[in-house]
A and B are shown apart, each in its own frame.
Chain A
Amino acid sequence: MEKVIITDLYIQNAGAIRSFQVKIPHNAICITGVNVTVTLGLPPIPLIPNPKMVKSVPLPPNFLAANVSDDTLPAGSPIWIGFTPSIFLGNMRMQSYGKANIFIAEDVYLQDFNIGQGDFSSISDVLPNDWSNKVKFERAETREDAAVTVLKGIYRDMQTPKSTPSYAYSVGVYIWYEINPNK
């Protein structure tokens, strides 16, 4: 049987570093997985997607003639595939005092702005979003021995004072562990 421990880390300043420890109960046998989530802080901070659009390399001139049947496009026009960078907030690492040392490292993003890339199920009224098109949350699987009883973690915020907009948020760290029901 599995249980989960939730640790919330509150990030108020750009560049903040949070060191934390997670105490694992004595009846735990092993650490089976880790999830990391983000919740924005209050008071609400307006969420503005980064307006900078990164454009991909233009397609070769003969690509259009071979692949696009739309006559409205003049031959040789470059097709730009719009890509909005998702907002990168920071990274989290967890360390065990056992042999594995750092056993997980996760990047933390605020929201996926490119969830609709390659998804042709959307219509003009219903655009792809995190809450509709995101796949099921899966935890990062681990098999770390829980005999150490304490895990150490460090979260490093990667926003800079010049990041616009910058966000106050909390990071939820979910540690899944398997228990011995007889203990």
Chain B
Amino acid sequence: MKPVRKRFDMLITTANSTLTQTFEMEKSIAAYKGMLFTSNMDDMLYFRGSARVEINKDEIFPDGYESKLLMSGINVPPDSRYFDLENMKPGNGQVKVDFVDTDDGRTDFTPYRVSLYLDCIMDDGK
């Protein structure tokens, strides 16, 4: 068993839109330890983003869950930045994200990238 960190990107090109993406994990992933959202434009993600997240068809974060609750500032030690998923089993290996961009008046929209990081445990014997 060894720790690995996976990154998946979503590109938000239209204001006030919804983007749905499903990411497939390798069979060798044995568990998810944590989850983190970042962006190339953190202010966009912080003020505008919300996401519904499903792992193995189990809803972990419901509709409207604000992405800022899954972000960490630069003052947080890197190993502590992830939301704790308590070694969740990957099941079918699918992670589905419905990302919603909503203007709240504090930012002017420009296209931005949202990155989903998953802190995983890999079974290297598989």
B75 near A135: Cβ-Cβ < 8 Å: yes
The proximity string for B residues 27-66 relative to A, scoring 1 for CB distances below 8 Å and 0 otherwise, is 0000000000000001101110000000000010111111
In Å, the complex CA distance between A24 and B8 comes to: 33
Query: Which of B18-26, B91-99, B100-108, B117-125 contacts its partner?
Result: B100-108
In Å, the complex CA distance between A132 and B75 comes to: 8
Of B59, B74, B86, which is within 8 A of A132 by CB? Answer: B74
B76 near A135: Cβ-Cβ < 8 Å: yes
Is B110 in the interface zone, CB < 8 Å from A? Answer: no
Q: In chain B, what residue has the closest Cβ to A138? A: B69
Q: State the main secondary structure of chain B at its contact with A.
A: loop
Q: In chain B, what residue has the closest Cβ to A111? A: B106
B74 near A133: Cβ-Cβ < 8 Å: yes
Is B115 in the interface zone, CB < 8 Å from A? Answer: no
Of A6, A44, A135, which is within 8 A of B65 by CB? Answer: A6
Of A5, A8, A42, A133, which is within 8 A of B104 by CB? Answer: A42
A residues 119-174 in Cβ contact with B at 8 Å: 119, 121, 129-137, 172, 174
In Å, the complex CA distance between A151 and B6 comes to: 38
Size bracket of the B interface = 20 to 34
A136 near B104: Cβ-Cβ < 8 Å: no
A4 near B65: Cβ-Cβ < 8 Å: yes
The proximity string for A residues 43-66 relative to B, scoring 1 for CB distances below 8 Å and 0 otherwise, is 111110000000000000000000
B73 near A135: Cβ-Cβ < 8 Å: yes
In Å, the complex CA distance between A28 and B101 comes to: 31
Is B116 in the interface zone, CB < 8 Å from A? Answer: no
Residues of A within 8 A of B63 (CB): 6
B81 near A44: Cβ-Cβ < 8 Å: no
In Å, the complex CA distance between A4 and B52 comes to: 12
In Å, the complex CA distance between A160 and B106 comes to: 22
B66 near A172: Cβ-Cβ < 8 Å: yes
A residues 20-50 in Cβ contact with B at 8 Å: 35, 37, 39-47
Of A43, A132, A135, A174, which is within 8 A of B69 by CB? Answer: A174
Residues of B within 8 A of A8 (CB): 64
Residues of B whose CB lies within 8 Å of any CB of A are: 42-43, 45-47, 59, 61-66, 68-69, 71-76, 80-81, 86, 102-106
